[in-house]
Amino acid sequence: MRYIILDTETTGLDPKLGHRIIEIAAVEVVDRRLTGRSVHFYVNPEREIDAGATDVHGLTWEALREKPRFGDIAREFIDFAGGARWIIHNAPFDLAFLDDELRRLELPSSAGVCAEVIDTLALAREQFPGKKNSLDALCERFRIANAQRTLHGALLDARLLAEVYLAMTRGQESLTIDITVPAPAASAQAGAALPPPIRVLEPLAEELAAHRAYLTELDREARGRCLWLALEFANFPALQTG
């Protein structure tokens, strides 16, 4: 499954007031692994940047005047991000700006480019209601190093968000396995050969230790609600003191 973790920086807070994208970055995650592929552009916004926005990301129009306009990089961005699921922190903000830029170019909106949008801010508010859920707060919560983030930057923030998303969703993939096993009678009637006996390999001591360390960390992140440990303790109470 392919995901694109996306972030933008802008001249201000509202595209309806004419504010524009000045930086956009996207990193690729496939099967829950960062692939190393990314795109990153600084963009000439063709207008001044609000002082408050510059305080956040450090970018000025003077520094961006020689950069390409959004129309110059739009096709490369769409080719990279198209068809994937997009992961964005506070997605409505970034999508409003991106859709405004695409509209200016008479290109399809983000809904026509991506397969789905996942808002990590909404996910974080569900998991941690009433707590700070900024990117910095989530990095601290999941022990993701972000000391280099003195200013907002689209590429750095996208990479940090990728790690945050993987930490937030660890163990939340589908836990159901659909296995269709033919009834013995039906197999016998069909003359099907019996399957060979299953070899059971006992795990090594270091494998058991690694598995227990993973469950312990998962239990910490889930605030003591790790199902596997709960079942283990229910079946083997002595483990609770071991």
Among 122, 149, 168, the domain-final residue is: 168
CA distance 168 to 136: 14
Helix axes 120-127, 154-168, angle to 10 degrees: 40
Q: Sort residue 111 into left (φ over 0), alpha (ψ -120 to 50) or beta.
A: alpha
pLDDT tens track, the chain, 242 positions: 899 999 999 999 999 999 999 999 999 999 999 999 999 999 999 999 999 999 999 999 999 999 999 999 999 999 999 999 999 999 999 999 999 999 999 999 999 999 999 999 999 999 999 999 999 999 999 999 887 776 788 999 999 999 999 999 986 543 333 334 444 444 444 455 566 676 667 778 877 787 888 778 777 777 777 776 676 666 555 555 44
- Active site residue: 19, 57, 89, 152, which one? 152
Asked if 91 and 121 touch (Cβ cutoff 8 Å), the reply is yes
In a domain, 41, yes or no: yes
Residues 19 and 128 both lie in one domain: yes
In a domain, 36, yes or no: yes
**Which domain, by its residues, includes 221?**
205-242
Q: Sort residue 21 into left (φ over 0), alpha (ψ -120 to 50) or beta.
A: beta
**Would you state the pLDDT for residue 150?**
63
Catalytic: 152? Answer: yes
In a domain, 200, yes or no: no
Residue 4 host element (H or E): strand 2-10
**Structural domain total, the chain:** 2
Residues 157 and 47 both lie in one domain: yes
Residues 19 and 103 both lie in one domain: yes
> Which alpha helices (H) appear in the chain, and where do they start and end?
51-57, 61-64, 70-81, 91-104, 120-127, 135-141, 154-168, 184-190, 205-221, 227-235
